[in-house]
Amino acid sequence: MQNFDYRTPTRLIFGRESIVKLPEVMRPLGKRVLLTYGGGSIKKAPVEREQSDACINSAERKEARPKVKLSLYGRVKELLKDFEITELPGIQPNPKYDPSVLDGVRLCKENNIDVILAVGGGSVLDCSKAIAAGACYDGEPWDLITYKVKAQKALPIVDIITLAATGSEFDPGGVISRTETNDKVGYVDPLLYPVCSILDPVYTFTVSKKQTAAGIADAMNHTIEQYFAEDTTLLNDGFCESMLRSLMVNGRKCLENPEDYTARAEMMLCCTYGCNRILSLGNSPSGWPCHGIEHALSAYYDITHGEGLAIITPRWMKHILSEKTIDRFVKYGINVFGIDSSLPKQEIAERSIDETYRFFESIGIPMHLREVGIDDSRLDEMARHIAENEGLEHAYAPLMEQNIKEILVASL
């Protein structure tokens, strides 16, 4: 087992109506809040709350309590009525450095912001993390994101996550895109852990089938990226196998009935665990190869991250299946998909890859790059970009430019 030095400082408040703790969480962090959000889902998603006790007389108390309906945005504004709120709306999926990070940094400086409240999916939170660091730095925020300069400080971040996928709510990373240079860069710094993440599965009821499926694929891939490593433990393998089974079972239930609270809740927790290293403490590094490849796809073509991963994953698996890796595939096939352990190893391994493909296909993910608008015209350029920037020659199964190109071609 490898040495590690690990700490997750993020407070998680999980469950129905956990938002009521928002003022208590925010108060010690300051009064001036930058509220960040995306393209408007938080203004559409209806949120029910009970009328406050003050509004209900004792006779009514015996009856079922009346509910008040308002949007998540309305609920946040209502709970933070005593705070000074500046807003940064319009953060896009695959959040952009320009304008969102730059606008956010400017707003923080102009308004002397104390704390950022991110309400939305991983893109909103990732963008907020880059803003949090940029707001405490005098130079160009890109210097921090690319590690040219080490951040000394960041504003505190609180989030209300509305889409189960990335695990950004429990990790110190964010991924920022710079369109003009086709860069999509992962920025990780312990300063970027959210102070607190509020997770109410009800807020994910309105997530579309497409984004729900992409979230399942993203969290499954986070687990797979950590499972396929040289040095692993029985403990971590068990965590990962259980995560994968839970994501498949509960993910399907979420797609069949988007308002299934129990399934949405378990899926949400699985996703939260995905990226904070808890599944692989003591493992040797795996290099996260599918993410290395996918980040280029979404940088060049702005596709949905989870869909890109689902397309790449089985092709990557096929590509790296070898004498060295076969035992991992056998264990994965038996413990995740229940493949008959008496079959020959090669057959179990190949079936496990087919099962992975078929699962993603069965939840409605387009399984070819062409279906998400990517043709063969820029594959060479992307393969070179990935080989030069992602360090995949050090991955569990090392990938050179030619290997990356072959995986991309097989994914077309």
Helix, strand and coil percent figures for the chain, each rounded to 5 = 55, 15, 35
Q: Which residue is nearest to Zn ion (CB)?
A: 218
The contacts of residue 234 (CB under 8 Å, 6+ apart) are: none
Q: How far is the CB of 340 from ligand NZQ (least distance, A)?
A: 33
Question: Which of helix, strand or coil describes residue 177?
Answer: strand
Q: For the window 83-112, what string marks contact with ligand NZQ as x by the rule CB under 6 A?
A: ----------xx------------------
Q: Which one of 56-64, 71-79, 110-118, 215-223 is the stretch in contact with Zn ion (CB under 5 A)?
A: 215-223
- Give the x/- contact pattern for ligand NZQ in 284-323, rule: CB under 6 A: -------x-------------xx-----------------
| Helix (H/G/I), strand (E/B), else coil: 159 | strand
- Among 120, 156, 251, 366, which residue sits at the site for ligand NZQ (rule: CB under 6 A)? 120
Residue pair 229/283 in contact (Cβ under 8 Å)? The answer is yes
Between 66 and 99, whose beta carbon lies closer to ligand NZQ? 99
Q: CB of 232 within 8 A of CB of 325?
A: no
Q: Is 390 in the site for Zn ion (CB under 5 A)?
A: no
Contacts of 104 (CB under 8 A, 6+ apart): 34, 36, 88, 116, 127, 128, 130, 131, 134, 135
154 contributes a contact to ligand NZQ by CB under 6 A: no
**Per CB under 6 A, which region of 10-18, 98-106, 206-214, 239-247 contacts ligand NZQ?**
206-214
CB 242 within 8 A of CB 201: no
> How many Å apart are CA 101 and CA 195, to the nearest integer?
20
Which tokens sit at 324? 């060295």
Answer yes or no: are the C-beta atoms of 287 and 320 closer than 8 Å.
no
| Cβ at position 177, least distance to ligand NZQ in Å | 7
Does 391 participate in binding ligand NZQ (rule CB under 6 A)? no
Of the candidate spans 105-113, 130-138, 203-211, 216-224, the one that interacts with Zn ion by CB under 5 A turns out to be 216-224
Site string for Zn ion, 218-237 (x = CB under 5 A): x-------------------
The answer to whether the beta carbons of residues 131 and 116 sit under 8 Å apart is: yes
User: Residues interacting with ligand NZQ, by CB under 6 A?
Assistant: 38-41, 45, 93-94, 120-124, 126, 162-163, 165-168, 171, 173-175, 203-204, 206-207, 211, 215, 218, 275, 291, 305-306
